[in-house]
Amino acid sequence: MNKKIAVIGAGNVGATTAMYLAEANFADVVLVDIIDGVPQGKGLDLTQAGPVRGYNAMVKGTNRFSDIKNSDIVIMTAGLPRKPGMSREDLLAKNADIVKSVGKNIKKFAPKSFVIVVSNPLDLMTFHMQRATGFPKRRVFGQAGVLDSIRMRAFISMELGVAMTDTQAMVLGGHGDTMVPLPRYTTVAGIPIAELMSKDRIKAIADRTRVGGGEIVKLLKTGSAFYAPAAASVDMCRAVFNDEKKLLPASAYLSGEYGIKDIYIGVPVVLGAKGVEKIVELKLNKSEKAALQASAKTYKKHLKFLGY
C-alpha cells in the first residue's frame, strides 16, 4: 500500500470507517484516539481479519498524532455523540474544542491532506476545521448530504421494493433538521419518484430523511448511527483517490452560489483528485431555494457562537 488514510476517533464511527476502508483495500489506515489501548486493539483486530476478508491493508492504532504524518486523507470522526433529546447544535460548544485541537495537529503532521469531517454539528465543524487547518477550502469538506441522500435512497427502496442501487437522491442544506430533500431530483433507474408514488408518500419519506439520524439515536438510546456514516465516508475517499469526478451532495464552502456565502453547507459538488472541484447550481424553485437559504441562515447564527 502506498496510500495512507488517517481516521481520527476510534469510537463506533471511526472504527467502522477503518474497517470499511481496509476492506476497500486502497490504502493503509491509521486509527487515532486519545484513549490508551483502544485504537491499538481495534487496529490489530482489523489487521488480523485481513487474511480471511481478502485485504492487504494494514490498520495501525495509535494515541500519537505524529503517526498521521503524510496521510493523503484525514477523516475526522472524533467528538461526543448525540444522546436522546440532544440536537446536533447542542453539541456545538463541546465538539468545537476537539475539532480545533485536531485541526492544529492535521496542519502540523499532514499539511497536504484532504480532510473529510464527520463530527457533528457537521456543517459548523467543517467550517471550524477549515479555519483551524488553514487549508484551501476545496481540501476540507463535510459528509452532509452524502449520508442524508443514502438514507433517503434506502427509504425509497423500502417503500417501492426496488434495488437500493437503482435509487438516486439529492438532499441539500445543513446536516440537521433544516436539511432540504429534493424529490424533483430523486429517481429510481432514472424514473422520477413522482411517477412511482403519491405525494403523501414522497412527503413522508422526505420528512423521515430529515430526522433519519434522530430516529436511530432514539432506537439505540446510548449512541448514534455509525454504519451508514462510515459507508458514506469511504465513498467520498474513493471519489478522491480514484479521481472519479463524482457528483454528490457534500458540505462545501459557498462564495455566492445559491445566494449564500461565507458558510459551509450541503450542496451538489464534483468530488475528485483536487477535492471539491466544482459546485453545481441546480435550478431550484422558489420554495426549495428559500428552504436552502433558511438552512444556511440558521448555521450563520451558530457560527457567531464560535466567534466568526
State yes or no: cis peptide before 183, omega within 30 of 0.
no
Q: Is 94 exposed, middle or buried (0-12, 13-18, 19+ CB in 10 A)?
A: exposed
CB of 50 within 8 A of CB of 23? no
Q: Is 175 part of the annotated catalytic residue set?
A: yes
> By C-alpha distance, which of 162, 170, 123 is closest to 143?
123
β-sheet bridge partners, residue 127: none
Cell of 262: 461565507
CB contact at 8 A, 184 and 277: no
Q: Are 141 and 251 in contact (CB under 8 A)?
A: yes
Positive or negative CA dihedral for 84, 304, 298, 180? negative
Choosing from 4, 139, 175, 302, the catalytic residue is 175
User: In whole angstroms, what is the distance from residue 293 CA to residue 27 CA?
Assistant: 38
DSSP assignment of 230-249, as one string?
A: HHHHHHHHHHHHTT--EEEE
- CA 53 to mean position of chain CA atoms: 25
Torsional sign, CA 297, 133, 125, 75: positive
- Alpha-carbon Rg for the chain, nearest whole angstrom, is 19
Q: At what angle do helices 212-220 and 145-160 cross, to 10 degrees?
A: 80
Q: Which three cell numbers stand for residue 15?
A: 472504527
Active site residues: 175
